[in-house]
Structure 1
Amino acid sequence: MQYVNLSNDIYFLGYNDRRTHLFENIWPIPNGISYNSYLIVDDKIALIDTVERSFFDEYLDNIEEIIGDRKIDYLVINHMEPDHSGALKSIMQRYPEVTLVGNKKTFAFVESFYKEPENVHLVHDGSVLELGKHRLQFQTIPMVHWPETMVTYEETNKILFSGDAFGSYGTLDGGVFDDEINLDFYEVEVMRYFTNIVGKYCPHTQRAIKKLAPLDIKMIAATHGPVWRSDLDWVLTRYNKWSSYDLDKGVVIVYGSMYGNTQKMAEVIARRLAERGIKNIRVYDASKTHASYIINDIFKYKGFIVGSPAYNNSMFPNVEILLSTIEHMAPKDHYLGIFGNFLWNGGGVKNLKVFAEKIKWELVYDPIEEKGAMKKDNKEQLCKLADAMADKLMAE
């Protein structure tokens, strides 16, 4: 990708990754992802974050095209994750006099990933770095989403270099700024990025939003996805909603099923919810849909109903993996329903109860367990489970 001006002497250096299938080797990125770095050319030259190492050759070519034979004076490290620090060692080799700018926790990560840094400039909340006509102010936002994470605020143009915060999955297909693209495409990708990567740390995200609120921000330049310059509220209001667990009226139903009996139970629940006026219903087969997409909807909707057959005296494995991921992400304030199936021995519902105890969501109805094919009595119980969920949601 070509470099793009954010202002006369501030440059976006972004590179599209259309080859990687799984971000962090976990999360599907069928629409790819961009890695964004930024360059400020002044009396002193500052590079803000780097890019994934496979893009280094083009990255260095772009930098040299802009600054020629001048040296990079500062490398600001907002976040040390290797998709952003991947070119750090190479930059240090190419510009051996460069000074690394970071907080106390940053440099421990530099040593762990690469080597002990020689030239460092330690910053903390409110520190200012003078480049000439540009002043950089630093604020730490720990656990959004690593302990060392910070943001850099450029005071002249009022640009917030936000690291992973306010980022997105999806490549930048020509358009770099929010007013150059159709944001309908990024509606899902921004949220899925948040729920998959940042969502575990919602309280920390809320603290970060409040901490940054006094800054007069005119542009947000994240390390993934578009640069926000025209409608900052589009991304800010969404981050605030998602990180405060402001959930919509709807239900996510997830099941595992070997021969269709547990699926039939899920279909009964879904139909009854629709009859009760619940319009946002998402039904997922845990064996088919990646957890990335299911987690995304769990962060969107208040109700969650999960069903599992017994499998070797335990839960169906794909359901178990999903629930382990949910426990890890720890979303709050949901209503929960449980159902399942067995033939000669239990294990599905029994372990779903364990999940309920761990996650501490409000259980709306007693767990329902069928033996083999669905019977009339249990069909009626499944409808009562759906009614209990609908009652809770309608009372919101």
Structure 2
Amino acid sequence: MGVREDMLTCAVAAQQASRVMANLSTDVKNRLLLNMAAALEAGADELQQHNREDLERARANGMAEAMLDRLTLTPARIKGMADGLREVAALPDPVGEVTGMWLRPNGIKVGRQRIPLGVIGIIYESRPNVTADAAGLCLKSGNAVILRGGSEALHSNRAIGSILRRAMAELDLPTDALQVVTTSDRAAVTELLKLEDHIDLIIPRGGEGLIRFVSENSRIPVIKHYKGVCHTYVDAAADLQMAEAICMNAKVQRPGVCNAMETLLIHQDVAAEFLPSVAAALHQAGVELRGCAEARKLLPDLLPATEEDWAAEYLDLILAIRIVSGYEQAREHIQTYGSLHTEVIVTNDYRLSQRFIREINSSVVMVNASSRFSDGNQLGLGAEIGISTTKLHSFGPMGLEDLTTRKFVVFGDGQVRD
């Protein structure tokens, strides 16, 4: 069969399997996730062997270090995948929940019940842990999932999918509810995006180019965020020692992820004290610093920041720095260049922090914490299926509840409409 027929067969089988998954008990779904977690840990050597194949090819192709980091499966990350599945198993099951029951004047009772979406397609790049995270969330919420990772992680994703499907088979569950597309042919993505009769939602995870391609070519609703241009604003009322620790974590811990800080905004009243200190620490960590004219007056060695820098998602050890006159200018900068992902204020001014929360219209706003916490796992959702920076039907990191919808349920005792 050709790619078109392969993808159609895959989607039809997933749709059939989704009807089984939608009716599984919470106990069965939780047992499945726990078995999957144990299987991943038991197969750690197998996973790392296949991951090494991907890493060797990626290095030969000149992949950047930040992207190699995203691709790497360490023992700690394999354990993290397993722990993520256990955390999802421990979360409340949203499927079947009836909310908002109300009584109408004619005696009928009306409520809304949570149900699975059906079949979810995940198209993603580099990070093989997404395979386990997405599978766990989709299956716990009663959905089937089709996973199409990037060619750079082909061997890793196949290995993870194989281990997870074996755990499904051991419980006599339909393995077609979890499918990993094993072809590296890019036509597979295009064909999947045409199957609106069988796939209910597409979630792309990766660079802006991938997400725009999916959005422009899909006949299926798409959850998307194009960029993670995350800002940290250090206010005049900030604890500067705290601010430096937050900035270092936000930029340096994992620069190649979408919740890393890309622009640092500093109130002019603390810039002379704060900028030299934080710049020295960032420079020591290997960060290239690009500053506005005011910042370069304080530190002439900074590279000049251009207009393009303010809108850049570097995904690397590069940081843009701007000194602002105060909160209003910081807010204006964020509103102009932000991507609705994550914004941080560091301040001990309670009223200003409340203004920031109220006025900054991003999917995650934070006070005195690193932007690196903008992650479903860190926010208590278990693993994360993705981040939405559009407001329909979800906004921000997405967990179990975001993989369901609601239908109306009506109870009567013989009422007919006049």
As a proportion of its length, which structure holds more helix? 2
> What is the TM-score with the length of structure 2 in the denominator?
0.30
> What is the TM-score with the length of structure 1 in the denominator?
0.32
More relative contact order, 1 or 2 (CA 8 Å, 6+ apart): 2
